[in-house]
A and B are shown apart, each in its own frame.
Chain A
Amino acid sequence: ETGVTQSPTHLIKTRGQQVTLRCSSQSGHNTVSWYQQALGQGPQFIFQYYREEENGRGNFPPRFSGLQFPNYSSELNVNALELDDSALYLCASSLGLGTDAYEQYFGPGTRLTVT
């Protein structure tokens, strides 16, 4: 059973640029959630995808967008990067949305630095 993987590990971008982060969910998991974690803070929910459809969204502007593919891997796209977008971006996968599918497994994260 493979765990959650994310790429790239680290990324440096310039303000105004666009970035795509990738996540492969754990084998058999059909739900992916994305979080932004600023240094010294808890993760903040960005959005969640369930079976290729967005299932919920946190308080992030539209320049944060995502996709989920038929194999349940996912992408997070951020346009018009701002300095405050510098953070650790975490994806987490889980099996379904029911109360039994409670545990979310986190990937190692992508550290994005915007200069």
Chain B
Amino acid sequence: GQNIDQPTEMTATEGAIVQINCTYQTSGFNGLFWYQQHAGEAPTFLSYNVLDGLEEKGRFSSFLSRSKGYSYLLLKELQMKDSASYLCAVKNAGNMLTFGGGTRLMVKP
């Protein structure tokens, strides 16, 4: 089976940096995804890691360690519009995603 854990809520200040952690235990691994979801909207793709290391994309970076079953999403220069839920998801060999419960991030002025 699959088990994915991430913190339920986090709060950070506008302009700061925040790191959202995700740990996973899976029976098959074919990549890890981060999605952003604003309240009442569909998830939107942020990043994809299949090999160990850091992937950087503007203000967002994602890190993966397959041996530790660990990933994090790093958000820099936080903006108010970054207030959203951040979903960690693991893909198995069949292109099926298992999601964590999501981390609700609140950015305060």
Interface of A toward B, CB cutoff 8 Å: 31, 33, 35, 40-45, 48, 55-56, 58, 90, 92, 94, 96-99, 101-109
**Given A102-B31, A103-B48, also A42-B42 (CB < 8 A):** no
List, in ascending order, chain B residues with CB within 8 A of A99's CB: 30-31, 50
What are the interface flags for B69-109 relative to A under an 8 Å C-beta threshold, 1 for contact and 0 otherwise?
00000000000000000010101001111111110000000
The reply to whether A42 and B95 contact each other, CB–CB distance below 8 Å, is no
> Contact check: which of A90, A92, A97, A102 meets B48 at CB < 8 Å?
A102
The reply to whether A101 and B96 contact each other, CB–CB distance below 8 Å, is no
The residue of chain A having its C-beta at the shortest distance from the C-beta of B31 within the complex is A102
> Contact check: which of A44, A48, A58, A108 meets B95 at CB < 8 Å?
A48
List, in ascending order, chain B residues with CB within 8 A of A101's CB: 95
A-B contact pairs, 12 of them (CB 8 A): A33-B95, A33-B97, A42-B87, A43-B87, A43-B97, A55-B96, A90-B42, A90-B43, A98-B95, A102-B48, A102-B91, A103-B48
